[in-house]
Structure 1
Amino acid sequence: MPNGATFQNHPTLPIAIVGGGLGGLALAIGLLKHHVNVHIYEAAPAFSQIGAGVTFGYNSTRALGLIDERLLEGYRKHATFNEDPEGYNTFMSFRWGMDEQREGGKMAGDMMFNLDDKWDSEAARSIGVRTRSCIHRARLLEEMVALLPPDIATFSKSFESVLEHADGTLELRFTDGTTALACAAIGCDGVRSKMRDIICGPGADATYVGEYAYRAMVPAAEVEGVLGREYARNGQLYCGYGSYIVTYPVEDYAFTNMVAVHHEPITSPYSWKESDWTVPATSDEFAKHFEGWHGPLKELVKNNCQPLKWALFNIRHSRPYYKGKLSLLGDSAHAATPHLGAGAGMAMEDAYLLANLISAVHSADAIESAFRAYDAVRRPRTQKVVEYSRLAGLACDFMLPEYDDNVEKLRDRFEEWYQWIWHEDLPEELEAAKKLL
């Protein structure tokens, strides 16, 4: 088939996207751009997002524009950046969250270092963003939904299993007893993915990493009154012995999102004993876990945190992200802890690569080759992000033995991680994958 030929779906059946979160919607937008017939099956009664702010680095925002320029335009409408002009290229200001544990050491609140894009400071500016940008998940979801036709999704459909018929047709089965037919299916159903169970089998389960998070969305005026404008309107990461707190502005500086992460004492293996991953918690419990912390910051979180704590899990494995006409995208394949702010960005990168590869094979009959090429290039990168994110959490908590609370070593390590994350050449990655088709 000549270059530029359009993808030919099955005459009547769409590609099914199981899950209508940010990753699933980004993939749908990318496939529709290539005139691919898709349909989304979402377990919730409507498109919705759990959580507040999501952080994007340059690689993530670039992926949005590569998927569809309109998606990047929508993102820019709601993105909040570091306000300080001197922080244009700063991703995060690292600070001491507790007093340094040595005589004459730094005090809680003191600066450790700025994490800057020292390698290509103009990259983000060239697409109308800054090194660090944040958006409320609900705003990004709204912009994505606006780019989709109204009949693209069926709601209240919780995926249960899939059956492949002799002619290659897939029959999706849902927990309410209904079914749907598709020519291929992509699981975008998150960290507890049922599709992953089918594709990867045992050994690719979500694993508790020994950490849980407290969350607070604090009016910016309150933060400014306690910490000052610089702290409310620019991203900060406070490191401590066994815990850390990250804060950053969202919703055009109206609020400061605060996430406090506590690490349990190291035992092997970690075990989360609750049936739910989100469990009730009290402000007194938070205060106990952050004893000795920077007083004003601690009180802000304590007075505003939700009465819950979120256990943190990741998915580290070496299993392929596809099986026949089934594939995985985003958290369903490679959920990472949030310590590098890269999880959502990896889903956007996935969506760009996968939409283009599906289009490149020109027909649903050949879609397995697209899934195979996608797996070959995406699995190594995304699994590294899972591992680097785990290590970054330990680094923020001064729990990496070779680094401890050595500021210079920590700065160098974080710079290595972020240079690798931010400056991946996604079009080059796509070309490498196309050579495998």
Structure 2
Amino acid sequence: MSSITREDPLAPKPLNLAVIGGGFAGLALTIGLLPYPNIKTTIYESAPAFAEIGVGVAFGPNAVRAMGMISPGILDGFKKHLTGNDAGYPDLKDVWASFRYGMNWTEEGEGEEKKRKYGDLITHLRGTRGALGSMLEEAGINTRSCIHRARFLNELVKLIPEGTAKFGKRLVDFEELGEGGVKLKFADGEIVVADAVVGCDGIKSTTRDIMFGKEGKSVKPNFTGEYAYRALVPVDIAVETLGDELAKNCQLYVGHQGYIMSYPVEHGKFINIAACRKKGDFEWDHENWIIPSTTEDMVKDFEGWGRNIIELISRFETKDKWGFYDMSHEEKYYRGRICLIGDSAHASTPHIGAGAGMAFEDAYILSNLLGTSKDARVWEKAFKCFDEIRRQRTQNIIKASKKAGMANSFQGEGIGSDMDRLRLDIKARYRWVWDFDLEASLVEAKMMLLNL
């Protein structure tokens, strides 16, 4: 005898949230909302499958802590693939990066000449201490936590329930409805109505363009005057070129108009390298943000740098040049029932290794604000609180990253190539990022929501 299950007409209907984009931000937010059965989240991804471009990415202690606060499953997946400094160098376990001279030059100052030699150590930047440092140590995570983007994305995808994501869904327009909710239109002709929308579609966000365009505003990514050659190099080639210690532990070589960063990923099988250049008023006059280049261009760009670094760059299998853009602006991150998080709201340059981590901080704050709201009418207020709590910190990250890129290229205001001042700047620039109290920030946001 079959049984018939009928829905309770008095049971509250779930709140429908449309998440545009299936990158780190969209997946982390969706995972953060899983404990709330009153919310039905759907990810709309324009690509035919989840995918990440790029190679290695670093996360600071603050971001790693945010992962675990959203879901232990995120942290477990991260730990599977994270790579820190090589275990054969225990004194470097808590080192985020070893800053070194990238070239030889003579520095004049105070009546004497100072010889700077390529490869010599400027300073070890060591990780955070206190409760956050203890948390990392207990979890078996090094201060330097690097991971291959695609590997980490795959771990996040495993936490997403089947049927949550829809692919090939390119957003073309949306309209806020007078009776509440948002009507979304996709390129394939489908129309969907959701209670609210969160744009997680990255620095080239369509959600952002539509949101601001409806107000006659244009908030676009800014080219920062910088670019980089990026590649994964097999560890044996890196060791052959740089030596064991320099290849297997994170190094940042500073120099005039640029810097080179290298660190291990894939459990030490590969070394991720980014060779960054900043050339005054250089303009990126290309439609694409990633363009083909040549070995000759790369070598010429780093003429005068250390011999073996030049040799390693010349052995890059990929020859692409990446333009650097960010999202420095003063606009709010929400309008009505539309909200932006992650790179769609505040993409940053990579100079302090904090941009990607902001997506997890965002997801923690917003998932908790939305999850504890029983009525979709409260979500607009939740977006307002999210904006007021997150906008200043994330825009400050963008500014700090710009300053770090300038300092690493000997163009920092009041710093130049003065090594004593550069050491002080290096030690100060990361602490406020890493030691941020995310839980206190959430408490502040919730109190703000209660008082609206």
Q: 2:429 maps to what in 1?
A: 417
Q: 1:3 maps to what in 2?
A: none
Q: Does 1:132 align with 2:144?
A: yes
Equivalent residue for 2:21, pick from 19, 22, 37: 19
- Check whether the contact 1:95–1:113 (CA below 8 A) recurs between aligned residues: yes
Task: Output the amino acid matched with 1:251.
Answer: E
Equivalent residue for 1:29, pick from 31, 51, 62: 31
Q: Distance in 2 between matches of 1:100 and 1:178?
A: 61
Equivalent residue for 2:292, pick from 273, 276, 280: 280
Q: Distance in 2 between matches of 1:290 and 1:300?
A: 11
- Check whether the contact 1:27–1:351 (CA below 8 A) recurs between aligned residues: yes
State the SS of the aligned residue for 1:340. coil
- Check whether the contact 2:85–2:248 (CA below 8 A) recurs between aligned residues: yes
1:339 Cα offset (Å): 0.5
1:343-354 correspondence to structure 2 within 5 Å: 343-354=355-366
1:119 Cα offset (Å): 4.3
Q: 1:237 maps to what in 2?
A: 252
State the SS of the aligned residue for 1:257. strand
Q: Does 1:48 align with 2:51?
A: yes
Equivalent residue for 1:218, pick from 222, 225, 233: 233
1:111 Cα offset (Å): 0.8
| TM-score after normalising by structure 2 | 0.91
- Check whether the contact 1:93–1:236 (CA below 8 A) recurs between aligned residues: yes
State the SS of the aligned residue for 1:246. strand
Q: Which segments of 5 or more consecutive residues in structure 2 lack a partner in the other structure?
A: 1-10, 108-112
Question: After alignment, is 322-331 or 119-128 more displaced?
Answer: 119-128
Q: 1:392 maps to what in 2?
A: 404
Q: 1:12 to 1:89 in 2, by over 3 A?
A: closer
Equivalent residue for 2:274, pick from 259, 264, 267: 259
1:155 Cα offset (Å): 0.5
Q: Does 1:116 align with 2:126?
A: yes
State the SS of the aligned residue for 2:34. helix
Alpha-carbon displacement from aligned partner over 1:298-335 (angstroms, at most 9, x marks no partner): 11122115121111001111111111110001000000
1:12 Cα offset (Å): 5.9
- Check whether the contact 1:247–1:259 (CA below 8 A) recurs between aligned residues: yes
Q: Distance in 1 between matches of 2:326 and 2:128?
A: 29
State the SS of the aligned residue for 1:41. strand
Alpha-carbon displacement from aligned partner over 1:164-186 (angstroms, at most 9, x marks no partner): 22221211112233222211000
Task: Output the amino acid matched with 2:261.
Answer: V
Largest Rg, 1 or 2: 2
- Check whether the contact 1:322–1:372 (CA below 8 A) recurs between aligned residues: yes
Question: After alignment, is 255-264 or 305-314 more displaced?
Answer: 305-314
State the SS of the aligned residue for 2:228. strand
Alpha-carbon displacement from aligned partner over 1:152-210 (angstroms, at most 9, x marks no partner): 11101111210122221211112233222211000001101121123345352110000
Task: Output the amino acid matched with 2:376.
Answer: A
State the SS of the aligned residue for 1:122. helix
Percent of residue pairs identical: 41
- Check whether the contact 2:98–2:121 (CA below 8 A) recurs between aligned residues: yes
1:167-182 correspondence to structure 2 within 5 Å: 167-182=179-194
- Check whether the contact 1:233–1:248 (CA below 8 A) recurs between aligned residues: yes
Alpha-carbon displacement from aligned partner over 1:22-56 (angstroms, at most 9, x marks no partner): 11101110011333210000011000000111101
1:122 Cα offset (Å): 3.0
Q: Distance in 2 between matches of 1:284 and 1:40?
A: 43
State the SS of the aligned residue for 1:80. coil
1:67-78 correspondence to structure 2 within 5 Å: 67-78=70-81
Alpha-carbon displacement from aligned partner over 1:197-230 (angstroms, at most 9, x marks no partner): 2334535211000001101211101111221111
Equivalent residue for 1:150, pick from 162, 174, 177: 162
State the SS of the aligned residue for 1:33. coil
State the SS of the aligned residue for 2:13. coil
1:403 Cα offset (Å): 0.3
Question: After alignment, is 25-34 or 94-103 more displaced?
Answer: 94-103
Q: 1:4 maps to what in 2?
A: none
